[in-house]
Structure 1
Amino acid sequence: MKNTNNSVWINVGEASGDMHGAMLAKELFKRDPKLKIMGMGGSAMEKSGCDIRYSMQLINLVGLTEVFPKLPGLLRLFGKIEDILKKERPKAIILIDCPDFNFRLVKIAHKLGIPIYYYITPQIWAWRQGRAKFLQKYVRKILCILPFEQQFFKDRGVEAKYVGHPLLDIIPISDLDAIRPDPDLIGILPGSRSKEISSLLPEFAKAAEMLSKDFPNLKFSIARAPGVKEEKLRRLWPDHLPVTINQPENRYRLMRSSAAIMSASGTATLECALIGTPTLVAYKMAPLSVLLAKLVVKVKFASLANIIPDKLILPEFLFDNATAENFYGQVKQWMREPDTADAVRAELMHLRELIGEPGVAGRTADIILQDLDLI
């Protein structure tokens, strides 16, 4: 029997998912103004008109060792969401990335007979590839955003639709291209999660101190992610070294205006790549999580800017290599040898061509709503 309830639930678990969830929500509202969208998310989804029942901060975790202490609370959260789904009976669940949480939600929704759409599928090609069969069993439609993912799923007997990368809808690339980078500005993107900020920002700061001795005219600017307090960033930065804090809405201008960027691994590095700025990629995890990752990860690179073209364009400093000395050495090379930075910029222009065309959120909304009419 067709579900006549005109509501959907969107579930995201971190800042980039919140951004993409908000874009999708706007497109869904355009096509059906009477639609009610609720779920788990952040400020971007809330501003787009979604009824946020639970904050994504409840599940914003990095690494397995950080999940275990919060497991009882997470189990209670699943129970509360299941109660809401039983009561509200949304006609669809739309999941965005965040597999460790959303895969459990998949089973809950499937048990309740609610169709599941996975938009921005988790990067199971990097590890736990067997999860493709899980998605085939429980998810009605898989909507992937990386050009090679459709073939990955097809090779495993799973139907998936490539819709393009949603960053193309968000980044005003043509406007940003008109901005001339400041040769004395270094951008710093320490991430959105508390643990990664605490582990990476002090190393970025030490690198900045070393760079400022070699290049006295350098300026440093930190991009504050949504939900991150400026006081936390200031606390982890030395008082004697001047720095500006950019607000979240200005991050793209900072990315374009910078001569080079030191960034935590994640969506931000792909944003920097599409904008065209040489960026070093840094990533740290708890020692046990590092050990587990090395055992199961099946890709050569950490950043999508390198994974998509299958070549190292942005230098990566992972785990024990994520040190101030390494960051300093890389940025110093770009500053002292401009040809090396220009070579990175040229490679990044080619990366844009691989990603696809704008209109991703609209195409995704069309696919979901048209499919729901068939149920």
Structure 2
Amino acid sequence: MRAEGLASSLFPMSELSVAGFAEVLPSLPRIAARLVQTQRAVRRAQPHVVVGIDSKGFNLRLLRSLAHRRAAAGRNGIPAAPVLVQYVGPSAWAFGDADARAARLRGGVDELLVLLPFEEALFRRAGVPATFVGHPALDDVAIGGEPPGTAAERAAEAAAFRREVGLSPCAQVLCLLPGSRAQEVRAMLPLLLRGAERLAERRRRGEALSSRWAGPIELVVPAAPGMRGEVDRIVLETLAARGTAGGGARCSVVGSGSRRAAFGAADVAIAACGTINLELAAAGVPQVAVYSTSWLTGFVIRRLLRPVLRHASLPNILAGRTLLTELLFEDCTPCRIAEEADFLLARPSLARAEAAQIRQLVLPSLRAVGDGGEPQLASRAAARALLRHLPEAQTCTL
């Protein structure tokens, strides 16, 4: 947003990038202070529309407080303003009391822009105005579902990336994606590195299914925005503690701008559950979805919140069945990570065919359609929805 010329942020957005239960407790006083700061900033700015983007725990509380203030002003004869919009809804659908969870937003937002096709009906049924705008992870993917460019162009981009980073032309490349939040990176990246190390050791001893591959295993870690320094530190510390990565496997950390090129160069990706699973599916990269968290968060999720889903990754959730392997909680170990990555690396043609199947089955459902029934970009659909709340912009064409 800063790149588009918008005003700088009131505070670093990384302060809101916390998830879980045990993980969020130390941050609560700071988040509460930021909430008050944002409420005051909105009152000073007196905007026509307030748009919360993701960060549901923070933004929905902010919008609810603004809705209460707006209602009080209306009772005193002050015109109602601003319009309250949330872009990306909470995952109410993941729980047995989905309707009750969705209804908690009623009266707190004027419109909810949702990314998944089944969310619109759920929230509307609960009395929350909701519009499905599609998933922005697909905005860089052709409407037909293919990655950008021709196959030859993608191959050339991948080869150029390998040369630039210094990857061996004959190496099998593991792309490690530990998440975008600092807490996720700290929890997941050491596990992924140790899993890659375990696999490389087994290959060196001829014990892996993929041992017949003549080239080495090499690792690429695309760091999320603002996380390059933290990723570099964790990689260095993990490798220093264990000598070398993967018994000689080379590990390269690249910036977020090189992520798409890293996908093209990767034979297999090991990725934390999240939007990244959709991005990998769009790129046609074979993947294993992983997630680990604190014991308290895991206990609360599985024993108290009791989600009704059998899957954690979006491709599996949307398909309603297992399309890609998930290693969650106590199953997310270096040994299991090594086994699943080995299985995919040993069968490259089958792995690519399965990745293509995921793309064909899942991605079309994540496109919103225009008034004429044509697929449209999520960013454009969201912009059109927002323009409806600005009377002076009704004549704009997108």
Decide: shared fold, TM above 0.5. yes
When residues 275 and 50 of structure 1 are mapped into structure 2, their CA distance, relative to the original with a 3 A threshold, is same
**Is 1:91 equivalent to 2:54 in the alignment?**
no
**Is 1:353 equivalent to 2:364 in the alignment?**
yes
Q: Is the 8 A contact 2:67 2:107 kept in 1?
A: no
Percent identical: 25
Q: Is the 8 A contact 1:262 1:280 kept in 2?
A: yes
Q: For residues 88 and 195 of structure 2, what CA distance do their matches in structure 1 show?
A: 34
The aligned residue for residue 29 of structure 2 is: 72
Q: Could you tell me how far 1:157 is from its partner in structure 2?
A: 4.2
The aligned residue for residue 202 of structure 1 is: 190
What letter corresponds to residue 300 of structure 1 in structure 2? Answer: R
Query: What's the TM-score once normalised by structure 1's chain length?
Result: 0.82
Q: For residues 283 and 346 of structure 1, what CA distance do their matches in structure 2 show?
A: 23
SS of the residue 2:149 aligns to: helix
The aligned residue for residue 337 of structure 2 is: 327
Q: Is the 8 A contact 2:284 2:352 kept in 1?
A: no
Counterparts in 2 of 1:6-85, with a 5 A limit?
45-51=1-7, 52-85=9-42
Q: For residues 111 and 155 of structure 1, what CA distance do their matches in structure 2 show?
A: 23
Q: Is the 8 A contact 1:220 1:244 kept in 2?
A: yes
The aligned residue for residue 382 of structure 2 is: 364
What letter corresponds to residue 133 of structure 2 in structure 1? Answer: V
When residues 176 and 269 of structure 1 are mapped into structure 2, their CA distance, relative to the original with a 3 A threshold, is farther
The aligned residue for residue 224 of structure 1 is: 223
Q: For residues 61 and 232 of structure 1, what CA distance do their matches in structure 2 show?
A: 20
The aligned residue for residue 251 of structure 2 is: 243
What letter corresponds to residue 206 of structure 1 in structure 2? Answer: R
Q: Is the 8 A contact 1:186 1:259 kept in 2?
A: yes
Q: For residues 274 and 236 of structure 1, what CA distance do their matches in structure 2 show?
A: 33
Q: Could you tell me how far 1:83 is from its partner in structure 2?
A: 1.2
SS of the residue 2:224 aligns to: coil
Q: Deviations over 1:146-195 (max 9, x none)?
A: 11212222443444211111122245722275424787111111112222
Q: Could you tell me how far 1:260 is from its partner in structure 2?
A: 0.5
Q: Deviations over 1:287-316 (max 9, x none)?
A: 111111113222221111111121211211
Q: Which of 82, 89, 93 in structure 2 is aligned with 1:125?
A: 93
Q: For residues 25 and 189 of structure 2, what CA distance do their matches in structure 1 show?
A: 25
What letter corresponds to residue 285 of structure 2 in structure 1? Answer: T
SS of the residue 1:299 aligns to: coil
What letter corresponds to residue 179 of structure 1 in structure 2? Answer: R
Q: For residues 251 and 171 of structure 1, what CA distance do their matches in structure 2 show?
A: 14
Q: Which of 269, 278, 281 in structure 1 is aligned with 2:286?
A: 278
SS of the residue 1:174 aligns to: coil
Q: Is the 8 A contact 1:187 1:221 kept in 2?
A: yes
Q: Is the 8 A contact 1:176 1:275 kept in 2?
A: no
SS of the residue 2:139 aligns to: helix
SS of the residue 2:51 aligns to: strand
The aligned residue for residue 268 of structure 1 is: 276
List structure 1 runs of 4+ shifted beyond 6 angstroms: none
Query: How many positions carry a matched residue from both structures?
Result: 331
Q: For residues 106 and 147 of structure 1, what CA distance do their matches in structure 2 show?
A: 23
When residues 244 and 149 of structure 1 are mapped into structure 2, their CA distance, relative to the original with a 3 A threshold, is same
Q: Is the 8 A contact 1:188 1:222 kept in 2?
A: yes
Q: Is the 8 A contact 1:186 1:260 kept in 2?
A: yes
Q: Which has the larger radius of gyration?
A: 2
**Is 1:287 equivalent to 2:298 in the alignment?**
no
Query: What's the TM-score once normalised by structure 2's chain length?
Result: 0.77
Instruction: Point out the more displaced range, 119-128 or 176-185.
Output: 176-185
Q: Is the 8 A contact 2:60 2:108 kept in 1?
A: no
**Is 1:167 equivalent to 2:155 in the alignment?**
no
The aligned residue for residue 372 of structure 2 is: none
Q: For residues 185 and 310 of structure 1, what CA distance do their matches in structure 2 show?
A: 30
Q: Is the 8 A contact 1:278 1:341 kept in 2?
A: yes
Q: For residues 194 and 166 of structure 1, what CA distance do their matches in structure 2 show?
A: 22
Q: Is the 8 A contact 1:168 1:358 kept in 2?
A: no
Q: For residues 209 and 256 of structure 1, what CA distance do their matches in structure 2 show?
A: 22
Q: Could you tell me how far 1:235 is from its partner in structure 2?
A: 2.8
Q: Is the 8 A contact 2:106 2:126 kept in 1?
A: no
Q: Is the 8 A contact 2:120 2:131 kept in 1?
A: yes
Q: Could you tell me how far 1:134 is from its partner in structure 2?
A: 2.3
The aligned residue for residue 15 of structure 1 is: none
When residues 132 and 211 of structure 1 are mapped into structure 2, their CA distance, relative to the original with a 3 A threshold, is same
Q: For residues 38 and 356 of structure 2, what CA distance do their matches in structure 1 show?
A: 47
SS of the residue 1:345 aligns to: helix
Q: For residues 49 and 237 of structure 2, what CA distance do their matches in structure 1 show?
A: 43
Q: Is the 8 A contact 1:92 1:116 kept in 2?
A: yes
SS of the residue 2:38 aligns to: helix
List gaps (5 residues or longer) in structure 2: 71-81, 159-168, 204-210, 368-374
Q: Could you tell me how far 1:358 is from its partner in structure 2?
A: 4.1
Q: Is the 8 A contact 1:147 1:308 kept in 2?
A: no
When residues 227 and 111 of structure 1 are mapped into structure 2, their CA distance, relative to the original with a 3 A threshold, is same
**Is 1:111 equivalent to 2:68 in the alignment?**
yes
Q: For residues 198 and 331 of structure 1, what CA distance do their matches in structure 2 show?
A: 21
The aligned residue for residue 336 of structure 1 is: 346
List gaps (5 residues or longer) in structure 1: 1-44
The aligned residue for residue 138 of structure 1 is: 108
Q: For residues 310 and 6 of structure 2, what CA distance do their matches in structure 1 show?
A: 38
